[in-house]
């Protein structure tokens, strides 16, 4: 007989075969991108030491990727955010693509919304009608980058345009010449020209150089008035080192390199957009185009926040301020209707959170050791940067579920509520919290952890409760001895006790044991203040051991430390009684 599991497996295979599925055996459907011939490449031994020029393309590339494109008002709000973060170059749209794009750009100009130290960028394909419409949109700007592009890859040449290399070069050079001819029609505007061979990473490297140099020959840039050559990895097709080789090869072989700014524009199809950008900078690029949180077509553009904060955690000023990452994320999500994943680098809700017990313990110890001085080196395990630097708080660093350990529980109790649990008590309470989390099956909030602590250690009022306690020195004949008198209720019956010992706790324990109401010894005792001032309270932690060798902690809070310690004794004894009952 065929089992249900086998039937389901066969049905799945049939469905996969019917609808396609991955090629098995030798994969002939795809070809590896050929490596670049680059003897003695230099980029592997270089480091990033300074921030590049950043250009946000959120308002164009990011906007095009949205199921519901942003309205003019949403684009204005996002533009203001980008300015506040510190972007000095912002691509504001494709003015010939739609009326909304055009109207947005006109709002920026007509309402004088572009700061003097910010240069906006507009993009256009290499078509005459689109170029002329673009010039209409930028009338009155003080400074603008005009970004011209056309596609150059073999597949695009063959399948989309039906042109040879010469025909593709002609598209680029005619577009460049038209822009150059139109620049005098806007004499009040400083124009910077940017050209992109749009499918650079998929194009033969020598042809990419050929078409870019043809454009440079027409534009005639100088070291004082440079052209921007944007070399996109519009679709990722190889490992990041291949793109770095392409960039270094291009920079090595380009004529008039001193008159060009080499710019990167990487996507994330292979999930390596950040790595590709970083290696491209090591290979000689000086400028990066990208988006907040990596929003963009398909799997997205490079995430500028991640690249910038990667630099920051290496001790490099990224020249962008992400000091309130939560506010930035809120505006981004409002304007784009996209959500930042909880595990997104630096920005996600859970990236500064540790659930693992060993991680929690290491974080707690690292936080305790770091002195917080402005010049102190950050060395907290598992946290690559100080969350405070980007506006996050320490409160959510450690959160507790069934995977958590004693270190995380202790961290929450100390940082949220001020309790400095003794080491052995951390183990005991950690097991209690794990058991609760196992039953619940989800995360415990700090308040739930405190409630469990209060229930387990502070509110043990039966079978013992304390009605009165008084202790005093025994007298001159025994200066180190303390005598106590106590009134204790056990199961509703009042007992008057007395005892002596080397302190109030010892005297009280002896009184209980001598009255045969309990039988235990004290293993450890600690105390500390919970707050300061006239209403300061103290907390006492006490561990007892029964004749069988079992240990139990008790804790208590009071404005008088003596009262707290005596109540902690009874709370510990009550926990013993609870296990026996």
Instruction: Please enumerate, by residue number, every residue annotated as part of a binding site.
Output: 61, 265, 267, 301
* Peptide linkage before 232 cis (omega within 30 of 0): no
Query: CA nearest 558: which of 577, 571, 539?
Result: 539
Structural tokens at position 426: 């951390």
* Residues 542, 574 contacting (CB under 8 angstroms): no
Strand order in the sheet with 464-473: 464-473, 482-490, 493-501
| DSSP E strand stretches across 279-395 | 287-290
Q: Find the distance separating the first CA and the last CA of the chain, reported in whole Å.
A: 55
CA 443 to chain centre: 20
* Residues 566, 486 contacting (CB under 8 angstroms): yes
Q: Give the separation between CA 421 and CA 216, rounded to whole angstroms.
A: 69
Q: Give the separation between CA 297 and CA 273, rounded to whole angstroms.
A: 13
Q: Give the separation between CA 260 and CA 244, rounded to whole angstroms.
A: 18
Look at the block and give the residue holding tokens 């309990």. 518
Mark out the alpha helices in 69-195 (DSSP H runs): 72-85, 99-110, 128-137, 154-155, 165-182
CA 88 to chain centre: 24
Residues in the annotated binding site for Mg(2+) = 61, 265, 267, 301
* Residues 305, 293 contacting (CB under 8 angstroms): yes
Q: Give the separation between CA 574 and CA 40, rounded to whole angstroms.
A: 76
Check residue 270 and report its DSSP letter.
T
Query: CA nearest 364: which of 428, 410, 403, 395?
Result: 410
Q: Give the separation between CA 355 and CA 92, rounded to whole angstroms.
A: 41
Q: Is the dihedral of CA 409, 414, 415, 416 positive or negative?
A: positive
Give the number of other CB atoms < 10 A from CB of residue 150: 23
Q: Give the separation between CA 488 and CA 509, rounded to whole angstroms.
A: 12
For 413-447, give the secondary structure using H, E and C: HHHHHCCCCCHHHHHHHHHHHHHHHHHHCCCECHH
For residue 7, give Cα distances in angstroms to 18, 21, 24: 16, 19, 22
Check residue 226 and report its DSSP letter.
P
Phi and psi at residue 560, to the nearest 5°: -110, 125
């Amino acid at each position: 007989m065929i089992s249900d599991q086998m039937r389901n497996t066969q049905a799945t295979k049939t469905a996969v075969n019917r609808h396609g599925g991955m090629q098995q055996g030798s994969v002939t459907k795809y070809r590896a991108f050929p490596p670049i011939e680059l003897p003695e490449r230099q980029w592997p031994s270089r480091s990033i030491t300074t921030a590049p020029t950043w250009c946000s393309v959120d308002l164009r590339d990011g906007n095009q990727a949205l199921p519901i494109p942003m309205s003019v008002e949403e684009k204005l709000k996002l533009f203001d955010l980008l300015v506040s973060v510190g972007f000095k170059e912002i691509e504001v749209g494709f003015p010939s693509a739609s009326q909304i794009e055009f109207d947005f750009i006109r709002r920026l100009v007509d309402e004088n919304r572009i700061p003097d130290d910010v240069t906006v960028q507009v993009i256009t394909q290499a078509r005459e009608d689109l170029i002329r419409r673009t010039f209409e949109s930028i009338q009155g700007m003080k400074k603008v980058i005009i970004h011209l592009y056309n596609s150059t890859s073999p597949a695009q040449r063959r399948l989309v345009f039906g042109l040879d290399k010469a025909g593709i070069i002609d598209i680029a050079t005619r577009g460049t010449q038209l822009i150059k001819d139109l620049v005098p029609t806007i004499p009040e505007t400083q124009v910077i020209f940017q050209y992109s061979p749009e499918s650079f990473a998929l194009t033969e490297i020598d042809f990419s150089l050929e078409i870019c140099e043809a454009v440079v020959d027409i534009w005639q840039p100088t070291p004082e008035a440079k052209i921007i050559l944007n070399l996109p990895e519009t679709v990722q097709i190889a490992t990041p080192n291949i793109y770095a080789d392409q960039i270094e090869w291009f920079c090595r072989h380009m004529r008039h390199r001193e008159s060009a700014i080499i710019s990167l524009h990487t996507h994330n199809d292979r999930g390596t957009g950040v790595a590709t950008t970083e290696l491209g900078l090591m290979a000689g690029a000086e400028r990066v185009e990208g988006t907040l949180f990596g929003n963009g077509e398909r799997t997205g553009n490079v995430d500028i926040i991640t690249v910038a904060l990667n630099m920051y955690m290496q001790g490099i000023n990224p020249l962008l301020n992400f000091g309130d990452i939560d506010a930035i994320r809120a505006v981004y999500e409002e304007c784009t209707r996209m959500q930042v994943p909880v595990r997104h680098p630096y920005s996600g809700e859970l990236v500064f959170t540790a659930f693992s017990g060993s991680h929690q313990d290491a974080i707690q110890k690292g936080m305790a050791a770091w002195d917080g001085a402005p010049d102190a080196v950050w060395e907290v395990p598992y946290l690559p940067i100080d969350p405070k630097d980007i506006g996050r708080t320490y409160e959510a660093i450690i959160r507790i579920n069934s995977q958590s350990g004693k270190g995380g529980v202790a961290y929450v109790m100390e940082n949220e509520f001020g309790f400095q649990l003794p080491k052995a008590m951390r183990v005991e309470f950690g097991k209690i919290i794990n058991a609760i989390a196992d039953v619940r099956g989800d995360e415990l909030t700090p308040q739930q952890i405190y409630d469990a602590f209060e229930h387990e250690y502070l509110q043990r009022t039966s079978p013992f409760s304390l009605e009165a306690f008084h202790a005093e020195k025994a007298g001159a004949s025994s200066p180190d001895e303390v005598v106590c008198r106590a009134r204790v209720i056990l199961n509703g019956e009042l007992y008057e006790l007395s005892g002596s010992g080397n302190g109030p706790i010892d005297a009280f324990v002896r009184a209980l044991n001598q009255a045969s109401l309990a039988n235990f010894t004290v293993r450890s005792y600690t105390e500390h203040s919970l707050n300061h001032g006239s209403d300061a309270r103290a907390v006492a932690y006490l561990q007892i051991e029964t004749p069988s060798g079992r240990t139990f902690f008790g804790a208590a809070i009071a404005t008088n430390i003596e009262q707290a310690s005596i109540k902690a004794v009874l709370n510990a004894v009550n926990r013993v009684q609870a296990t026996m009952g």
